[in-house]
Every structure is written in C-alpha cells, then in structure tokens.
C-alpha cells in the first residue's frame, strides 16, 4: 500500500477551480517532485495534504486512513511534516536553541517547569543527533538570524526532523539560494531520503535538481495533472515540453 494516496482530489475557492481530479500515489521511501508553472496548483496541493484546507472533492489517504478532514496539528502527530516557502525559525536564538525547543516540543516536555538530569540528557542527545543529521553541528552556537539563508533553511529542516516525519513536505527548499547552498540543500534532501528513509514530496522550480534527485515527478498545469513519471519520461514528454519546459512538442 502507498504511504500517500490522492484519489480524484479537487479544490475549489468560490468560482476558482484550483485543483481538479488529482490522483497521486506516493510509495514508502519515495522521493517525489511536484513541478509546474506558477499558478499550477502546487502550493494548494501541499495545503490539502498538510490539512490547511479540506478537499472539495475526492479523498486523501495517509497510511491507508482518510485525512481529508483532519486538522494540521493532528497530521503533524501522524507524521506529516511540512516546511514553507518562507523560512520559519527563531531568528534571535542560536541554532542549538532552535533545535532544542523543537526537540522538547516533539518529546512533549516543553511545558515542564523542571526536568530531571536524565531527561535533559535525552534532549541534549536528540539535539546533537539532529545537528549531525543535517550537518550544522559546527554552527550550534551561532545566532540563527546571522546565518546565511541556506543555513537557516537547514536549521528549519532540522526542526522538521525533530518530529520524526513519515512524510516530509518541502515547499521550494532551494528558493533564494546561491549555487553552493543549493548543492548543499540538494545533497541533504537526497541523504535524508536515501539514508534516513524519509518519504519526501518536494516542490521545486530548478529542473536540474528535479531531474537529478527525484524518483518520480508529477507535473501540474492549470490545476490538473499533466503528466507523471521518471525524469527521463517527463523530459521526453511532448505535453510537458510544450507547457512547461519551453520546447517544441
């Protein structure tokens, strides 16, 4: 059974049909890219999967259970974790403090006025683990707001990992980055998927990244599915070439 299933999903905002008849199956351990022109419906799709809007029609299943009417907080507890186009971190705190807060919340101890030495050690160990996974341990004491945009995004991914996601949704993870930062983020996404086994769904406009790391690619256009397949299949699809890649069909 697929981890995530969208079955003829649609979403309407008044007279605007934002998504129409979207059917997608994402398997356990898959690295799936969602691409399409601006206004294609990519962010709306993420909003439906992460519970910010219910679908107007169709059904969304996660681990075989319907989630179309489930709120975002409950979906986080079920393992659907999302990052956004705008970086969401505590800019005035250090990298370590950002990840510690995330770890405490994930472990359900953020409300405790007092913690035992053993609990503090567990939290410290988890923060160290997160920093090692995303490769930012060397900047633990740096104030997050002083970091480069790329490193801030890495911190955000670390925060997302604190919840041990079953499905990680990354919305334009390399937007606004320079070449080196883009390469680092791309390598991190691939590593999280292949080494940590995290099923990942990401929206990206850089086709070099998409074709370089995605197991499969879904192409949206005007709220509908245009194509789906491997990088080779998508790159050679005449409809995709005409609508998105800018090549003659």
Residues 110-142: tens digit of each pLDDT: 777 778 889 999 999 999 999 999 999 999 999
pLDDT at 53: 94
Q: Edge-to-edge strand order for the sheet containing 16-26? A: 16-26, 4-13, 57-62, 65-66
Helix then strand then coil, % of the chain, to nearest 5: 40, 25, 35
How far is the C-alpha of 158 from the C-alpha of 140, rounded, in Å?
12
CATH number of the domain that 116 lies in? 3.40.50.300
- Environment class of residue 76 by beta-carbon count within 10 Å: exposed (0-12), middle (13-18) or buried (19+)? middle
Contacts of 40 (CB under 8 A, 6+ apart): 220, 221, 222, 223
Do 147 and 210 reside in the same domain of the chain?
A: no
| pLDDT at 248 > cutoff 60 | no
Give per-residue pLDDT as tens, 1-50.
799 999 999 999 999 999 999 999 999 999 999 999 888 999 999 999 99
Do 61 and 111 reside in the same domain of the chain?
A: no
How far is the C-alpha of 9 from the C-alpha of 20, rounded, in Å?
6
- Environment class of residue 154 by beta-carbon count within 10 Å: exposed (0-12), middle (13-18) or buried (19+)? buried
Contacts of 98 (CB under 8 A, 6+ apart): 89, 90, 144, 155, 158, 159
Domain around 244: 1-70+166-188+199-249
How far is the C-alpha of 197 from the C-alpha of 188, rounded, in Å?
12
Helix (H, G, I), strand (E, B) or coil at 92: coil
Do 86 and 145 reside in the same domain of the chain?
A: yes
Do 223 and 247 reside in the same domain of the chain?
A: yes
pLDDT at 245: 62
Give per-residue pLDDT as tens, 64-79.
999 999 999 999 999 9
Q: How many domains, in total, are found in the chain?
A: 2
Give per-residue pLDDT as tens, 173-227.
999 999 999 999 999 999 999 999 999 999 999 999 999 999 999 999 999 999 9
């Amino acid at each position: 059974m697929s981890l995530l299933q969208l079955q003829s999903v649609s979403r309407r905002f008044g007279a605007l049909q934002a998504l129409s008849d979207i059917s997608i199956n994402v398997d356990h351990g898959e690295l799936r890219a969602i691409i399409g022109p601006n206004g294609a419906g990519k962010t709306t799709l993420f909003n439906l999967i992460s519970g910010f809007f219910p679908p107007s029609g169709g059904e969304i299943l996660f681990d075989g259970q319907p989630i179309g009417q489930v709120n975002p907080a409950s979906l986080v507890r079920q393992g659907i974790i999302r990052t956004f186009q705008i970086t969401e971190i505590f800019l005035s705190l250090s990298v370590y403090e950002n990840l510690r807060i995330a770890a405490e919340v994930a472990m359900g101890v953020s409300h405790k006025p007092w913690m035992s030495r053993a609990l503090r050690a567990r939290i410290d160990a988890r923060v160290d683990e997160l920093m090692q996974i995303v490769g930012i341990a060397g900047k633990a004491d740096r104030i997050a707001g002083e970091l480069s945009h790329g490193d801030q995004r890495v911190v955000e991914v670390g925060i997302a990992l604190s919840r041990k996601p079953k499905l990680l949704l990354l919305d334009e993870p390399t937007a606004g980055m320079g070449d080196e930062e883009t390469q680092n983020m791309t390598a991190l996404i691939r590593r999280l998927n292949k080494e940590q086994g995290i099923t990942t769904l990401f929206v990206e406009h850089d086709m070099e990244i998409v074709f370089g790391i995605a197991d499969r690619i879904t192409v949206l256009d005007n709220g509908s599915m245009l194509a789906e397949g491997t990088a080779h299949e998508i790159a050679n699809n005449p409809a995709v070439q005409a609508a998105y890649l800018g090549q003659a069909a």
